[in-house]
Amino acid sequence: MKYISTRGQVSPIGFIDAILMGLADDGGLLVPQHIPQVSEATLQKWQELSYPELALEIFSLYVNDEIPRADLKKLVDDSYATFRDEAVTPVRKLDDSRYILELFHGPTFAFKDVALQFLGNLYSYVSAKTNSVIHILGATSGDTGASAIEGVRGKEGIRICILHPHQKVSKVQELQMTTINDANVLNLAVEGTFDDCQRIIKDLFADVDFKVKYHLRAINSINIARILAQTVYYFYAYFQLAKQGHSGKVSFSVPTGNFGDIFAGYLAKKMGLSVDKLVLATNENNILARFVSEGVYEPGAFRGTHSPSMDIQVASNFERYLFYLYGEDPQTVTQLMAQFKADSRIVVTGDALKQVQADFAAYSVGNEECLDTISEYYQKYGYLLDPHTACGAAASDKLAAEGETAIVLSTAHPAKFDEAIRLRSISQTYPEQIQQLFDKPQFVTVVGGTNEEIKNRLVSFF
Ligand SMILES: N[C@@H](CCOP(=O)(O)O)C(=O)O
């Protein structure tokens, strides 16, 4: 298996080089040169596997022999041993049409742990094998940051700097990141939005001389390892439903911000998983929902919502989807991305738009609807949704009304977003790991957010 760039200007590279390259050196995103096809017989066998066993099988398809199987198995086992639920990502049935895929049983109570526990261990493994330093630079709208830090804190040979938008993440998200006092962790709070943070890191990764000189590595979903790790739970959830007696088609409703999670579902479907609809659920920052309904990809005004992790205008994995939408043609992708850079707008029409609408259903959830959904599910099912999952649940309700079954990806534990939940007078008990954060001192520097300023901070940190 080799990896190529969506913009076609990088010679095919192996798995480890792809992980280390992060953003492709031509400014594109790395994708597998071909998508492995999983036969019906293999799917049958996979149904019997535990989560770590399944992850090992899926990763093996993408890693080839670059990492010996015994080493890969240890990486996988270590990564999922940190989860609080034996099933790693259990599925809860609410009724015949609604299932919740709980992805928040990892150390930081968000779905990001599923990939970032693995990527942290993988970076550590590569650092030790190649005797090289790993300098991670990441941007977060709240969940990736804590999860990435947790994945590598205190690890030999690794340093990590995370940019988050100052005062635009939830209190628990902020505390999870900024109460870490390990010497290899730097938190910068940028005066701006998540899009500003993501633009900065993409600019710095695109400066290939700087990236190479300072060994910059990515932990965001621009890194293909993130996507591959997130495909696993689509398969696992599908198998769990089969075991719970469900037969027939299944759709997935995915709270969406940076398009990484739903792109992982798209990849799983392309590998052969029988997915019915992929439902893209956004909050009021609904550029992706507008794209699916109208074919116009154009950022609007930033809206602060109850689901801050999805307060994103420019979704980084969108480029990976364009690559497949346009028949894996890097020239078209390059043109479209150049057009986006010039006009902040991409327009898709005709057959391509029909294909988009065949690939995804989309639904944008307003602030009040998000809170209403939290209240309704709490009253009807006794199940407390976090506001991101509530967006996914609201979207899945449309399918349920048509008699279809959907699995809603529950991306975070509700305790991370108590500000929103309290608005509906629902009280919850925090898990001990979250409660204790409130007594700890914080370590964070507020910065303006020019590329130069961040570069200087990085140079002195690394
Ligand atoms: N919602 C994310 C934003 C970054 O997305 P990623 O999947 O590219 O890491 C967050 O919580 O930080």
What HEC string does the chain produce? CCEEECCCCCCCECHHHHHHHCECCCCCEEEECCCCCCCHHHHHHHCCCCHHHHHHHHHHHHHCCCCCHHHHHHHHHHHHCCCCCCCCCCEEEEECCEEEEECCCCCCCECHHHHHHHHHHHHHHHHHHHCCCEEEEEECCCHHHHHHHHHHCCCCCEEEEEEEECCCCCHHHHHHHHCCCCCCEEEEEECCCHHHHHHHHHHHHHCHHHHHHCCEEECCCCCHHHHHHHHHHHHHHHHHHHHCCCCCCEEEEEECCCCHHHHHHHHHHHHCCCEEEEEEEECCCCHHHHHHHHCEECCCCCCCCCCHHHCCCCCCCHHHHHHHHCCCCHHHHHHHHHHHHHHCCEECCHHHHHHHHHHEEEEECCHHHHHHHHHHHHHHHCCCCCHHHHHHHHHHHHHHHCCCCEEEEECECHHHHHHHHHCCCCCCCCCHHHHHHHHCCCCCEEECCCHHHHHHHHHHHC
- Average pLDDT score, the chain: 97
State in Å: Cα 439 to ligand 1 middle: 26
- What per-residue confidence (pLDDT) applies to 347? 97
Distance CA 20, CA 31 (A): 14
The whole-model pTM stands at 0.97
Reported confidence tier of residue 297, pLDDT bands at 50, 70, 90: very high
- What per-residue confidence (pLDDT) applies to 429? 97
- What per-residue confidence (pLDDT) applies to 125? 97
pLDDT value at 52 more than 90: yes
* 407 inside domain: yes
State in Å: Cα 7 to ligand 1 middle: 22
- What per-residue confidence (pLDDT) applies to 249? 80
- What per-residue confidence (pLDDT) applies to 137? 98
Mean pLDDT, range 276-305, rounded to an integer? 96
- What per-residue confidence (pLDDT) applies to 345? 97
Amino acid code (one letter) for 89: T
pLDDT value at 245 more than 90: no
pLDDT value at 110 more than 90: yes
- What per-residue confidence (pLDDT) applies to 70? 98
Place of tokens 């309904």: 293
- What per-residue confidence (pLDDT) applies to 248? 78
pLDDT tens-digit map of 151-194: 999 999 999 999 999 999 999 999 999 999 999 999 999 999 99
List the Cα angle 342/348/353 in 5-degree steps: 160
Q: Which of 112, 168, 202, 269 is catalytic?
A: 112
Reported confidence tier of residue 247, pLDDT bands at 50, 70, 90: confident
Q: Could you tell me which residue, 245 or 92, shows the higher pLDDT?
A: 92
Mean pLDDT, range 341-369, rounded to an integer? 97
State in Å: Cα 309 to ligand 1 middle: 7
* Among protein residues, the one whose CA lies closest to atom 7 of ligand 1: 221
Test site for ligand 1: of 144, 226, 319, most ligand atoms within 8 A of the Cβ: 144
Pocket of ligand 1, beta carbon within 6 A: 140-145, 220-221, 257-258, 260, 309, 316
Mean pLDDT, range 250-263, rounded to an integer? 97
Test site for ligand 1: of 109, 140, 307, most ligand atoms within 8 A of the Cβ: 140
Test site for ligand 1: of 168, 172, 221, most ligand atoms within 8 A of the Cβ: 221
* Among protein residues, the one whose CA lies closest to atom 11 of ligand 1: 143
CB 72 within 8 A of CB 52: no
Reported confidence tier of residue 358, pLDDT bands at 50, 70, 90: very high
Q: What is the per-residue burial (b if ≥16 Cβ within 10 Å, else e) of 214-231? A: bbbbbbbbbbbbbbbbbb
* 55 inside domain: no
Mean pLDDT, range 52-65, rounded to an integer? 96
* 333 inside domain: yes
Instruction: Please say if 112 is a catalytic residue.
Output: yes
* 135 inside domain: no
* Among protein residues, the one whose CA lies closest to atom 1 of ligand 1: 309
User: 307 is written with which tokens?
Assistant: 């689901």
Write the burial class of residue 36 (CB in 10 Å: 0-12 exposed, 13-18 middle, 19+ buried). middle
User: 232 is written with which tokens?
Assistant: 């696993």
* 298 inside domain: yes
* 311 inside domain: yes
Question: Which residue range is the domain that position 290 belongs to?
Answer: 91-109+225-422
Share of the chain above pLDDT 70, in %: 100
pLDDT value at 65 more than 90: no
Mean pLDDT, range 337-364, rounded to an integer? 97
pLDDT tens-digit map of 3-18: 999 999 999 999 999 9
Ligand 1, atom nearest to 310 Cα = 1
How many domains would you assign to the chain?
1
Ligand 1, atom nearest to 219 Cα = 9
Distance CA 215, CA 159 (A): 10
pLDDT value at 134 more than 90: yes
- What per-residue confidence (pLDDT) applies to 381? 98
Across 247-251, 263-267, 355-359, least confident range = 247-251
Domain containing 409 — which CATH number? 3.40.50.1100
Reported confidence tier of residue 244, pLDDT bands at 50, 70, 90: confident
* 428 inside domain: no
pLDDT tens-digit map of 185-227: 999 999 999 999 999 999 999 999 999 999 999 999 999 999 9
* 155 inside domain: no
Closest CA to 288 of 264, 266, 321: 321
